[in-house]
A and B are shown apart, each in its own frame.
Chain A
């Protein structure tokens, strides 16, 4: 008889869909690659469509399977199919700390995202923290018109794991 394969449970792990969104070139794919593969590349390759991958994290002793959807740049409705966001339990909104244009529309974007996934968890993340010094950091954060949850660097890996852990905690609480 031919051998067949189907999923066997190891515990009671929950699966959640999480979307990475934000403007072009803010480092969504770099955060995705740093988190999934522990890799970073200086080359900029624009994401075509969407890329899906999975990582299991442990939150307070519970395994949580995060299905990450890395969506090609832009947040607006006319550029990205709304259906990509459907069924998402969490959204990571990424902006680039060195490019004010990437956080100028943050309020409007978050409002739009909240309307798509009502009740979902949205985390606002300032990426490329390795490119700014302490003094600039304070100044830039005063310009961001929204509360920033965490600052990360996909390049050095700073706060990347913490960012997903923070999201994971909110997802299962």
Chain B
């Protein structure tokens, strides 16, 4: 280090000289260290063993040290990609469920067959007779009896406007007025879109539900049904709807008010849902 003696005081010059003497060795050592650090090849050579050791340690201790953090990242990633995973897995899961249900049905049928063999009640004899007479397996007849359709909800809807005349249901659900409106919108859309002459949309399937619609001139009835539905069942329901229409829907209605809704809802309930009430009348 050079000192410009003209610019600083004598005292400071002495101080700097003392510093130079005292720090000389340290400064030299520092300079050597800096050179070593700046020599990339030498630095790598010295550092490599430490890194290798750390990697070896990491291989052994990784689960303990980073398990929680990795799990958290994985969980987040999983949550964000939920829909993609569902899309990816749905077909395989669907096939698995289908196979499982089919197996369960087979096992149920076997159980029923065994029961049939061991029972001698009047009903069994009737089933046996029907089975022999129509050439249908007894197990199929009993299964059909067990899975008989049930009317869960029924709506009487004005055909053009979608306004509700009345409704009855086995359980509390969404606003029935809105359901009637949306059903009418779907129906109108399908009928307009495909324009198949005078044809009407008469069934919608949704999950375990089937919504049957029977159309009349100014109104239609929509019935939400669970259980298996054969052509004969559909015929039975259709006859039931016709008998309802014949009994209650003779007069035309201009304004839909709550009194009318209450009246028709009561009829619908008695006729389709709570059939015991109808029998008591």
Binding site for B on A (CB under 8 A): 1-17, 49-50, 52-54, 65, 67, 69, 81-84, 86-89
Contact = CB atoms under 8 A, between A and B. Distances in A.
6 contacts: A2-B274, A5-B170, A10-B258, A11-B258, A15-B177, A52-B178
B257 A49 contact: no
B170 A13 contact: no
A49 B158 CA distance: 20
Interface residues of B, number: 40
Interface in B169-202: 169-172, 175-178, 181-182, 185, 188-189, 191-193
Interface string B243-275: 000000000000111110110011011000110
Interface stretch (B7-15, B56-64, B159-167): B159-167
Given A14-B256, A67-B162, A81-B189, A7 B178 contact: no
B168 interface: yes
A71 to B, nearest CB: 9
Nearest to B265: A6
Contacts of B92: none
Given A9-B259, A12-B259, A15-B257, 9 more contacts: A2-B274, A6-B265, A6-B268, A12-B257, A14-B255, A54-B181, A67-B177, A67-B178, A89-B161
A118 to B, nearest CB: 13
Contacts of A13: 257-258
B179 to A, nearest CB: 9
A17 B161 CA distance: 6
Nearest to B277: A4
B192 A81 contact: yes
